[in-house]
Structure 1
Amino acid sequence: MTGSEASPSFRLAYVPGVTPSKWVRIWNERLPDVPLTLVPVSVADVYDVLRRGDADAGFVRLPVDRADLSAIPLYTETTVVVVPKDHIVSAVEEVSAEDLADDIVLHPLDDTLNWERLPGKPALERPATTADAVELVAAGIGVLVVPQSLARLHHRKDLTYRPITDAPESRVALSWPEDATTDLVEDFIGIVRGRTVNSTRGRFQAPAAAQPKPKPRRSDTGGGARGKPAAGKGARGGSGSSKGGAKRGKPRRRS
């Protein structure tokens, strides 16, 4: 591990659609003296931001160039098609790529899906951004296939979306420069992997809880603690035989 000196803060980049609030909250609870700064970055720029050192780590969309960047895949998103609310797709629960054969499918330049062949009919021009494509969908120009988080990010009251079953999926990962795996990066890795505060792989561990002191044991000679009588012994230590230790029953009534 390199960079043993802790930075005054931790800079976390994230691409559109990713919501890092859960991990930020845990960071603030565990490392309150190390402020975390969020750096929103476009999908096209996030890798350059990491390589320049403008962020210590970042939430990105795979694939990642593993030549100089490390990455931990976190989750895979559902892919959806965004359509106007009066579109026929809104009447079903899910669709396939074939169901979009008669639609113009917009393909923005910042698309995060790796298509082998885009479904539907191509538009005359590619929108510059996903946000621009959403505006075109609202204008009735076409439909848009995106990860579900981006459909939520650009939500409009006049649009809706449905899962598309056979489209490529987008995977979100945590990435950082391989040669800059600092202690703070390791701490954040532990958080996103769900390690507890007391994990042996974490640097910041909660102090061990104080264990109650054992009660002193009495001496075995003279005043030892009383235990249950052994099997076959009477309650007063007698043998359980008829000599001296017979168990008394109820007295018989005299006639």
Structure 2
Amino acid sequence: MKPRSSEPALSIGFVTGTAPGKWFDRFGERTGHGEPVAGESVDPMAELIDGRVDLALVRLPDPRIDDTYHLVRLYEEEPGIAVPKDSELTLADTLGVDDISDQTVFYRPDVDGSVDIRAVGEAVDIVATGVGAVLAPRPLLRRLGSRRTENRGYRDGRPTTIALVWRVVDDCDMIQDFVGIARGRTEASSRTAQPKRSASEKAAAKKARRTASGDASRRKPVGRGGAGAARRRRRK
């Protein structure tokens, strides 16, 4: 559906390492708001604060989120580790702190779990030269990795949380529709979804319209004298 002419498109900033494309498609297909205007960002929260976007898909924690914002937690990311492609560590499906005791770790999340995306990217570039390791959310390592690095699950790390954030004063049906889709609302349960009729229901409705149209065309005024006069004229 195309957006309503009087309604601007929903703008969304999504943090690097997330892939919300399926939500954008469903939003455009299931609602009357049209496709959102979206872009990847290392700091979508800054874009939300500046008013550049209506919604931000962020990685928690973020100390800038206060009671002037709505926040909905969506899912958790697996902790991961990036190592050089030719490292023996790639032989394992998951790694732990004991496996990397002799490795230089060029980046790890802060104590509170926050992640500096730019710092992760710089550390991955170092690992790509053939040394060390990087600890970060695994989806982020997939996004920033190269052919010279590989990532694995890190069993001794903490999961990170991905959430949607928007300004309380901006809350509206359009935002709520997107939030519902991101939280898994199906097409059948969507607030904006239109009920679908089966083929037989459509055929029955079409037949009823034709019958009604035919009846209307056959109805003619009987003129003066009423029905009795009309019958007398037909007998002549």
* TM-score, scaled relative to structure 2: 0.72
Partner of 1:20: 20
TM-fit CA distance, 1:205: 3.0
Partner of 1:115: 111
Deviations 1:30-65 (A, max 9, x none): 2365231112221xx322211222111121111242
Partner of 1:235: none
Partner of 1:183: 173
CA distance in 2, matches of 1:7, 1:156: 41
CA distance in 2, matches of 1:159, 1:186: 39
Unpaired runs of at least 5, structure 1: 118-125, 214-255
Partner of 2:46: 48
Is 1:145 aligned to residue 135 of structure 2? yes
CA distance in 1, matches of 2:73, 2:96: 26
Q: Give the count of matched residue pairs.
A: 193
Q: How does 1:153-172 map to 2 (within 5 A)?
A: 153-172=143-162
TM-fit CA distance, 1:88: 2.7
TM-fit CA distance, 1:181: 0.9
Name the Cα RMSD after superposition.
Answer: 2.7
TM-fit CA distance, 1:159: 1.5
TM-fit CA distance, 1:115: 3.0
CA distance in 2, matches of 1:127, 1:22: 23
- Give the 3-state SS of the residue equivalent to 2:93 in structure 1: coil
CA distance in 2, matches of 1:162, 1:32: 41
TM-fit CA distance, 1:188: 0.3
CA distance in 2, matches of 1:128, 1:154: 10
- Give the 3-state SS of the residue equivalent to 2:155 in structure 1: coil
Is 1:75 aligned to residue 75 of structure 2? yes
Partner of 1:232: none
- Kindly tell me: are residues 130 and 161 of structure 1, through their superposed partners in 2, closer, same or farther at Cα, counting changes over 3 Å? same
Segments of 4+ moved more than 6 angstroms: none
Contact 2:79 2:159 in 1 (8 A): yes
TM-fit CA distance, 1:131: 2.0
- Kindly tell me: are residues 116 and 33 of structure 1, through their superposed partners in 2, closer, same or farther at Cα, counting changes over 3 Å? closer
Deviations 1:42-95 (A, max 9, x none): 1xx322211222111121111242422222111111111111122231122222
- Kindly tell me: are residues 78 and 34 of structure 1, through their superposed partners in 2, closer, same or farther at Cα, counting changes over 3 Å? same
Q: What is the letter of the counterpart of residue 170 of structure 1?
A: T
Match of 1:205 among 193, 216, 224: 193
Partner of 2:217: none
- Give the 3-state SS of the residue equivalent to 2:95 in structure 1: coil
Larger helix share, 1 or 2: 2
* TM-score, scaled relative to structure 1: 0.67
